[in-house]
Chains A and B, each alone.
Chain A
Amino acid sequence: MLKYFYVTKNSLMEFLAYRLNFVLWRVRVVVSILITYFLWLAIYSGRDRIFNYTQGQMLTYIILLTFLSGVVLSTQTSRVAEEINSGNLSNYLIRPLNYLSFNLFRDLADKLINTFFAIIEMALILLIFRPHFILQTNPLNLFFFILSLIMAVILYFFISLLLSFIGFWSREVWAPRFIFFILVAFLAGTYFPLDIVPRPIYALFELLPFTYLIFFPLKIYLGNINGFFLIKGFAVSFFWLIILYQLVKIVWQKGLKAYTAEGK
């Protein structure tokens, strides 16, 4: 277990080695949140409620996106594809460690640093712009929010890992990831809450795993949800977790058989 602790520690140090890069990356995160924040602020000017969301709910949703994106969408698993394509995967296969656990702990560093700075940035946004921010105090809501967040983290880890496994069969790993980023940005609810779309489209979204990465946890945080929404949401998330876990196992095994350590 100690070796995995060092994986996280080393990854954290990697982040801090390129400080300007790191600072600009955080600036980028704040800028993109502020853009969405001001856009929605402008849309709400003179209106109390749009798409069944009050201004406070919508701005809380946007601000919390910083935190959730940091926890859920930050990952190092894209490096898996590079390691496969360059043949560097061999270096990990001969070491006394589980490569999937290694990736989980490498991701942990990413998530720790993202979460830490996201909290600071969120606090700054709240202090400077003083928006109407909804602080959820219901322990049940907070419990289900954290539970959905944990499930979202694992879901994203599996999906991103599967995308990287494409590297076993193709060198074309960035194009599928590019499409994936665009799909996630829209279908996970980083543009807007997904339930503002027409009902039949939302019903389709509810069946996809992306909905449970950002929208579902945030919706739980905001409250005003019923038991059916919770049960259905957790059931679909759990279904996708099982499916994706099995897929990761199968594709990893098949991928290893196809792996030729090309480049080494």
Chain B
Amino acid sequence: MIKYFKVWWLMTSQSIQLFFVSRLGAVLFLSGKVMRFIFFFAFLLLLFKRTDVLAGYNFYEVVLFYFTFNLIDSTTQMLFREVYRFRYYIVSGNFDMILVKPVNALFRSLFGWTDILDFITLGPFIALIIYVLLKIPHITFAGVFSYILLVFNSLLIATSFHILVISLAVITTEIDHAIMIYRDVIGMGKIPIDIYTEPVRSLITFVIPVGIMMSFPVKALLGLLSFSTVFSTFFASLILLFLSINFWKYALRKYTSASS
């Protein structure tokens, strides 16, 4: 465990050093991320000029969903930025170099690059979430505890999805669109999933668990989820993780080391 932490820290410090190499690019990328956040927030503000509630949630509750989405999404991108570069390793055959090293190939493929730009955004997102929490009445300690637990659970689901995507890349060499489809779909969680009508709502809760990832933490915080639902959510996430790791093992058996 300590060995893996040291490897991760080494790879992370390298990615931080590279951030300082192209400072202008980093500043521009960061500005882009901030702009994207502000634009959608402006859209929510516009929407609430015409309505008091959206799917039964007031303004502060809806922005809490949006801020939580950003927290989970940014953390995921910060941790798994390497996935976006994974195709290069496969098509160039350089994945061989990862396989022969005495570090788990899945660990290396997922955590090889930590995005410092997303890390920078985490602090403000947490501050915004705390600010909004103070604006919502009747928040309980149990609610906050469930919220934190379910955010970790969302990261577990995100990990599973990233494993599935890189496994697909090993088999097909396709990754760019697959990862962007994942990101587009989880983008549905920027707002409470209750807003969507059936069958979309069931689809994004049970088939593609966007709802579990993005909406459940806030719902638990607001006291809208039962204990049994929270418990079964963890169970479902662990099954998804188990399946994704097995798919990765299957994909490795199909790896042909083309171009190497």
A→B interface (CB under 8 Å):
18, 20-21, 24-25, 27-28, 31-32, 35, 38-39, 41-43, 45, 50-51, 170, 172, 174-176, 178-179, 181-183, 185-186, 191-192, 196-197
* B43 and A175 contact, CB distance less than 8 A: no
Q: Is the CB of A179 within 8 A of B35?
A: yes
B24 touches A175 (CB 8 A): yes
Q: Would you call B185 and A24 a contact (CB within 8 A)? A: no
- Whole-angstrom CA separation of A50 from B46 in the bound complex: 11
Which positions 22-68 of chain B face chain A at CB distance < 8 Å? 22, 24-26, 28-29, 31-32, 35-36, 39-40, 43, 46-47, 50-51, 54-55
Q: How far is the CA of A31 from the CA of B187 in the complex (A)?
A: 11
For B54, list chain A residues within 8 Å (CB).
43
Q: Do A172 and B28 contact each other (CB < 8 Å), given the known contacts A24-B181, A31-B184, A31-B185?
A: yes
Residue of A nearest to B24 (CB): A172
| B interface majority secondary structure | helix
Residue of A18, A24, A25, A176 with highest tally of chain B CB at under 10 A: A24
CB of B180, distance to nearest CB on chain A (Å): 6
Q: Judge if B128 is at the interface, Cβ distance under 8 Å.
A: no
Is B177's CB under 8 angstroms from A192's CB? no
Task: Check: B195 CB closer than 8 A to any chain A CB.
Answer: yes
Q: How many contacts A-B (CB < 8 Å)? A: 83
B172 — which chain A residues lie within 8 A by C-beta? 20
Q: Which of B24, B39, B177, B178 contacts A191 (CB 8 A)?
A: B39
Shortest CB distance A113–B (Å): 15
Known A31-B185, A172-B22; contact A51-B50, beta-carbon cutoff 8 A: yes
CB distance from A157 to the nearest CB of B (A): 22
The reply to whether A182 and B36 contact each other, CB–CB distance below 8 Å, is yes
Interface status of B136 (Cβ within 8 A of chain A): no
- Asked whether, in the complex, the Cβ of A38 is within 8 Å of the Cβ of B32, the reply is no
Q: How far is the CA of A192 from the CA of B195 in the complex (A)?
A: 17
| Contact A21 B181, beta carbon cutoff 8 Å | no
Other-chain residue from A20, A32, A179, A185 in contact with B28 (beta carbon distance below 8 A): A179
Q: Which residue of chain B lies nearest to A41 when distances are taken between CB atoms in the complex?
A: B197
Bound-state CA distance A96–B26 (Å) is 39
Q: B24 contacts which chain A residues (CB < 8 A)?
A: 170, 172, 175
- Shortest Cβ distance from A172 into B: residue: B25
Assembled-state Cα–Cα distance A70/B42 (Å): 26
